[in-house]
Amino acid sequence: MKDPNTATARPRRRWLTALLYLLAASGVLALGLTGYAIVGQKKEAPPPTRVTIDETAVIDSVMGETYGKYSAAKKGWLYVADDNRTYLMRVVQQAKIPDAADGDELYFVASGAATDGREGSLYGVFYVHPTRPHDGGLTQMNTQVSSRTAQAVKPEQVHFEALSENLWGWVIRVQEGSDATSSPVITTNTVLAPHGDAIVTLGAFMAAIDYDPGKPCAEVKTAWDAYAAYETPQVADEDIEEPEEVLRCEKRRWSYQTGGVTGAVPVPITVTAGGTQDGLPVEARKWKLMFDPKSFSYNVPEELQANRLY
């Protein structure tokens, strides 16, 4: 005969075993849910905050990185360029754009003359923006332009322009030469803007030309007409001396106006001629410079290019 105590004990142990398995499974599930929650929190980490630029601090940092130590005595940065000449660099324009998607953007221009007293200058164009892809940091790009005859760029010679709904740029008046009584002084408008990982030139067109020959303009014009009409005689085995070039009285001016921003393509630039030549008002003319997205530049006609004048 079976022991009744044994017969009733087995179901109780099966129930206990099932309970233990159930609790263990619940623990594994809880650990899995906790791990999923932790991983989920990592995946949903908040993006970096928008970058706020302190203009003074950022400009000081970028200028020091580009040009070296600041000179309190000279009130500028003493920069030794590739031509081994020293230039006293100062900031002549700055603008902060606060409404970019990832944070502030900063645009500024620095310029300086050579410290050795001879002609020559340098200017730098800078663009500081949130690093892409956005990580909360900043990235800067710049381009440096030097000339042995240009004057240092002054604040009033820099115009900061909205070129499209997502592109800002500069129109910088650069003056080559300083004494209009010895040679023509030519001023050009140079358009620059960021493109990709660099700052590029979008075009250049005339702004002004000055020359004073020191004689009455009517007299000089007569001499210039004769020079322009001169044809070199065709004489075999004989060197013919060419007449000296005659330069006319010049005080021509070209003003410009940018169009209204309507989309992603940079606006047209309207250029208008004015001033005088040979002491007389020049013919009123206008040109519309259209932007070519393929070359990422403005189409500038030859009559507005400085190298076509002289």
Position 54 in a domain: yes
Say yes or no: 205 and 304 in one domain: yes
The residue that leads in pLDDT, 136 or 274, is 274
Position 1 in a domain: no
Instruction: Give the 3-state secondary structure of residue 148.
Output: coil
Q: What is the pLDDT of residue 101?
A: 80
* Residue range of the domain that includes 85: 46-147
Q: What is the pLDDT of residue 37?
A: 46
**CA distance to 35, 55, 77, 198, 200, per residue, from 62 (Å):** 45, 10, 11, 16, 19
Q: Is 180 exposed, middle or buried (0-12, 13-18, 19+ CB in 10 A)?
A: middle
Run of H or E residues at 297: strand 297-298
What is the spatial distance between Cα 300 and Cα 70, in angstroms, rounded to a whole number?
Answer: 39
Averaged over 219-228, what is the pLDDT?
95
Q: What is the pLDDT of residue 306?
A: 84
Position 91 in a domain: yes
Query: Comparing C-alpha atoms, which of 238, 183, 206 is closest to residue 302?
Result: 206
Q: What is the pLDDT of residue 4?
A: 40
Say yes or no: 185 and 87 in one domain: no
Give tens-digit pLDDT for 10-33.
344 443 444 434 444 455 444 444
pLDDT exceeds 70 at position 5: no
Position 11 in a domain: no
What is the spatial distance between Cα 209 and Cα 218, in angstroms, rounded to a whole number?
Answer: 18
Count the domains in the chain: 2
What is the spatial distance between Cα 264 and Cα 279, in angstroms, rounded to a whole number?
Answer: 43
pLDDT exceeds 80 at position 158: yes
Using pLDDT thresholds of 50, 70 and 90, give the confidence band for residue 237. low
Using pLDDT thresholds of 50, 70 and 90, give the confidence band for residue 244. confident
What is the spatial distance between Cα 125 and Cα 83, in angstroms, rounded to a whole number?
Answer: 19
Position 87 in a domain: yes
Among candidate residues 147, 175, 191, the one where a domain is terminated:
147
A 10 A CB-CB count for 218 gives 11
Say yes or no: 166 and 244 in one domain: yes
Using pLDDT thresholds of 50, 70 and 90, give the confidence band for residue 168. very high
Say yes or no: 179 and 247 in one domain: yes
Give tens-digit pLDDT for 36-91.
444 445 556 666 788 899 999 999 999 999 999 999 999 999 999 988 999 999 99
Among candidate residues 125, 147, 169, the one where a domain is terminated:
147
Position 29 in a domain: no
Query: Comparing C-alpha atoms, which of 107, 123, 132, 261 is closest to residue 194?
Result: 107
Could you report how far apart the first and last alpha carbons of the chain are, in Å?
A: 130
Say yes or no: 120 and 211 in one domain: no
Position 96 in a domain: yes
Contact at 8 Å (CB) between 122 and 144?
Answer: yes
Using pLDDT thresholds of 50, 70 and 90, give the confidence band for residue 247. very high
What is the spatial distance between Cα 151 and Cα 146, in angstroms, rounded to a whole number?
Answer: 10
Q: What is the pLDDT of residue 34?
A: 47
208 forms bridges with which residues in the sheet?
Answer: 187, 253
Averaged over 129-139, what is the pLDDT?
89
Position 7 in a domain: no
Q: What is the pLDDT of residue 197?
A: 93
Mean pLDDT value across the chain: 86
Give tens-digit pLDDT for 203-215.
999 999 999 999 9
Give tens-digit pLDDT for 184-200.
999 999 999 999 999 99
